[in-house]
Structures are given as structure tokens and as C-alpha cells.
Amino acid sequence: LIPGIARISFKNIYKSKFVRLCLKYRRKTGLLAWLFGFLHGTYIVWDRSLNLFDPNTAIKYAQGIILISIFTVLAITSNDWSVKKLKKNWKKLHKLTFVALFFMFWHVYDKMSGAWSVFTGLILLILALLTFYVVKGFFQERVKKTIK
């Protein structure tokens, strides 16, 4: 999420070698993020012997289930064939990334409440800033469309 949002929000950051490298390997990074999320979720289900068909469990872990669902759809469609077949809809579909950003903030905040560390605060700060820039960009885009 960070390189794409940074590229949109801060025009000069594209000159950064790190951001260009991240953008170059965006699909692979996305697939690794999906794999991390999948392994994280699988470990939690296994470690806690969770029954995901139990409504109470599904409600308690709804953010994680929604996140892995979104990332699964994005991972499945992160290939040239999907881009070619879905055309303009591919870009619309991949805007789910921004929805995932909101759920990720909520997930970290909810699940780490009471067990905060320095890293939790840092991650929440980064997610909050990213969410702010996404929302800001959304409203700026809406203003541009109404002016035209």
C-alpha cells in the first residue's frame, strides 16, 4: 500500500529508489502480503482451535476474514490475463486495496487493544496516515470531477 499511496500523495517521492523498486515489484509484494496474511490467519485458527462456522467466532474475527477475502481476490487477479480480461474493471476491483486499508487499521486496533507495544503504535500511526491520504485523495478527486 505504501509505495502506491506515497506516489500519488507525494509527487517527488517517485524519485526515491526504494519507492521505484517497490512499484516495480508491486505484484510480487502484493502476493507476499497475501501469503503473510494467509499464514497469519491459518496460524491463529490452528493455534486457537477456532471453528469459523461458529457465528460468534466469525463475528469476533470479521475484520481478519474480510481482509483475507479482499487480499485473496486481489491475489487471484494480480496477473496479466486478469488485467486483459477485466479491462477497466480490474482497476476498479483493485481499489479494494483502499477498503482493506480501513479494515487493517480496525483489525490491528481491535486485536491489539490491551497488548500494545511500540510497534503497535507505529503501525497504527502509519495506517492512520495512509488512510488520511487515501481519504484526502478521494475528496480531491471528487472536487476535480465537479469542477470539470
Q: How far is CA 16 from CA 3, 13, 30, 42, 82, in A?
A: 10, 5, 20, 35, 29
Q: What is the DSSP string of 84-128?
A: HHHTHHHHHHTTHHHHHHHHHHHHHHHHHTT---HHHHHHHHHHH
| Gyration radius of the chain's alpha carbons | 17
Q: How confident is the model at residue 24 (pLDDT cuts 50, 70, 90)?
A: confident
Predicted confidence at residue 9, as pLDDT, reads 64
Lowest mean pLDDT among 5-14, 43-52, 80-89, 100-109: 5-14
- Contact of 58 with 45, CB cutoff 8 Å: no
CA–CA separation, 59 vs 52, rounded Å? 9
Q: What is the model's pLDDT at position 118?
A: 84
Q: What is the pLDDT of residues 69-98, one digit of tens each?
A: 999 999 999 999 999 999 999 989 988 888
Residue with cell 481519504: 135
- pLDDT tens-place string over residues 95-140: 888 888 889 989 998 988 888 888 888 888 888 888 887 787 778 7
Q: pTM for this one?
A: 0.81
